[in-house]
Homo-oligomer: A and B are copies of this chain.
């Protein structure tokens, strides 16, 4: 930068201004500096500016599993949003362990301006501690201590159960996801919705890892349940359930109707295409970035929570209960 300054015949601070506050420099000086910088192939050193400013221009994103399309889509949206706001993304895959996630979060927090936690597995207390030591926003989850954006759980479940009830299903099974440190309350909406529409929630299977294989395992438990419809906590599980049933020689939606509680490219892509509760991941990701950036600007502001509406996308995996179902 000093070299550029000399080459352009200005002071080093002017060069700095050209790059960080271009408008505060007269146009012709700026051009001279830019020209010199180009000739010398100069670009500002981000580490130095990070140190001087106390800002890295970097956001941290933590997800439990990069390979899960749900998180992959969030990553994609977040990365793009961050980029349009001139930030880069530090990504970390935490796995399902709360402690690991917490430890990783602290590390990442140290080298970024703020933390985005997507589907965090940690407790509210952990989230609170992170939020106390730096800007934090939650994506797809809620906690009192941090800004958050998430899908409205109650209305989403209502949409699902209402759909199944309307088709004539009276007994359903809910295949739960990973039991994490945050989940205790997460099952309430299902119960409430079932009650509202007079549906019998036969059983909650699980917790299962949110994976295909565990969906297959869950499928084995279905035939004896007496249910005619299944709700899967996530797409990969739903998919596993579908395949598991197929291997038993049962069909979807002939023998069981199946609903997935998220909706990425997989839901419409597998066979049969899944009726799914669509969660607006693009909005969630973008909103998460905005919330975080806002908090970075105003660390003291009031905590904001942003529930987003879901929509039920009816595809091929749900139908009227078959004449023969339940039992074995």
Contacts and interface: CB of A to CB of B under 8 A. Distances in A.
Interface stretch (A19-27, A71-79, A153-161): A71-79
Contact of A271 (B50, B80, B246, B264): B246
Interface in A260-305: 264-265, 269-271
A93 interface: yes
Query: How many copies, total?
Result: 2
B72 A67 contact: yes
A43 interface: yes
B58 A66 contact: no
Contacts of A240: 269
A17 interface: no
A144 interface: no
Interface residues of A, number: 42
B76 A43 contact: no
Contact of A46 (B45, B89, B110, B265): B110
Contacts of A45: 51, 110
A212 B48 CA distance: 44
Contact of A269 (B46, B48, B91, B239): B239
A222 B83 CA distance: 40
A222 to B, nearest CB: 18
Contacts of A92: 79, 83, 88-89
In this complex, which of A67, A75, A265 has the most chain B Cβ atoms within 10 angstroms of its Cβ? A67
Given A66-B79, A75-B91, A47 B56 contact: yes
In this complex, which of A72, A236, A246 has the most chain B Cβ atoms within 10 angstroms of its Cβ? A72
A90 interface: yes
A189 interface: no
A177 B66 CA distance: 23
A80 B104 CA distance: 11
Given A67-B69, A79-B66, A243-B269, A89 B90 contact: yes
A67 B65 CA distance: 12
A316 B89 CA distance: 40
28 contacts: A46-B111, A48-B51, A51-B51, A58-B90, A58-B111, A65-B76, A66-B75, A67-B264, A67-B265, A69-B72, A72-B72, A79-B91, A79-B92, A83-B92, A88-B90, A88-B92, A88-B111, A89-B90, A89-B92, A90-B91, A212-B265, A212-B269, A239-B269, A240-B269, A243-B271, A246-B271, A269-B270, A270-B270
